[in-house]
Amino acid sequence: MSRKPTKGYFVRGHFVAAGSELDLELKRELKGSVDMSKTDLKKHSDHLQALGEALLTLRGDLMTRLREQHEGIDDKLIDALVEAKRITNFEGKRRQMQFIGKLMRKLDDGTVAAIEAALEEQRKPSARETLALHQAEQWRDRLIADDGALTDWMLAAPDTDVQQLRALIRQARKDAQGVVERPGEAQRHGRAFRDIFQLVRSALTTTAEGEAQDELQEPGDE
């Protein structure tokens, strides 16, 4: 009596009998992986869509760096982002963002990771920006408290409108004279106090950006 051939299939050169424990295990794994892949694919697609929308807010210097380091950030994607910024119609904007999402899904993992890193860098203040913030506070306080600080500042930032700064310092000192400090209450400051801070911070940030650009150019200049 001839023996009936065992039904089954081959997986990577190995025979798997139909109904066997290995067969059932492989089917369970296959079903699980398919279900998971659909879920993961949807999540990944949504994530890339959100990244594409976030790219609309990315700073110019960070976008330039991405383009220089990753070929996936090509003219087609950049043009799509520019067009999305231009569109004001809701439906038109929605369709454009879907198109951007489609382009994002073509990017390799390295480029996607670089985009995520650039967006995270934009969200967190850099060490230079934090230093500029503290320096601006120190300069503001010095300028208001010490007449000689103005000369020091003009040496550090000669492009400053000295007449404007003098006027702000005079007003900040005048405002401070009329303030009555009360225990337990935060000290109140006038607009001139805040304007001096903004003026100084802007100048320090511009200087820091110029120094950073010089550092980037130095290797190529050698």
CATH number at residue 170: 1.10.60.30
Say if residues 46 and 109 touch (Cβ distance below 8 Å): no
Both 60 and 76 in one domain: the answer is yes
Residue finishing a domain among 106, 123, 140: 123
Both 113 and 133 in one domain: the answer is no
Would residue 218 count as lying in a domain?
no
CA atoms of 176 and 191, how far apart (whole Å): 11
Higher pLDDT, 60 or 4: 60
Q: Whole domain around residue 35: which residue ranges?
A: 24-123
Would residue 176 count as lying in a domain?
yes
Would residue 7 count as lying in a domain?
no
Q: How many CB atoms lie within 10 A of CB 165?
A: 20
Both 132 and 206 in one domain: the answer is yes
Would residue 15 count as lying in a domain?
no
Residue finishing a domain among 93, 123, 153: 123
Higher pLDDT, 125 or 47: 47
Strand intervals (E) in the chain: 8-11, 14-17
CA atoms of 178 and 174, how far apart (whole Å): 7
Q: What is the pLDDT of residues 28-46, one digit of tens each?
A: 666 555 454 567 677 878 8
Tell me the three-class secondary structure of 20-73, residue by residue.
Answer: CHHHHHHHHHHHHHHHHHHHHHHHHHHHHHHHHHHHCCCCHHHHHHHHHHCCCC
Q: In whole numbers, what is the pLDDT of the chain averaged over residues?
A: 80
Would residue 10 count as lying in a domain?
no
Say if residues 160 and 153 touch (Cβ distance below 8 Å): yes
Both 28 and 119 in one domain: the answer is yes
Both 190 and 140 in one domain: the answer is yes
Say if residues 103 and 49 touch (Cβ distance below 8 Å): no
Both 133 and 117 in one domain: the answer is no
CA atoms of 148 and 96, how far apart (whole Å): 56
Q: What is the pLDDT of residue 219?
A: 45
Residue finishing a domain among 105, 123, 141: 123
CA atoms of 145 and 143, how far apart (whole Å): 6
The total of structural domains in the chain comes to 2
Higher pLDDT, 27 or 166: 166
Tell me the pTM: 0.46
Q: What is the pLDDT of residue 125?
A: 67
Both 131 and 71 in one domain: the answer is no
Q: What is the pLDDT of residue 71?
A: 85
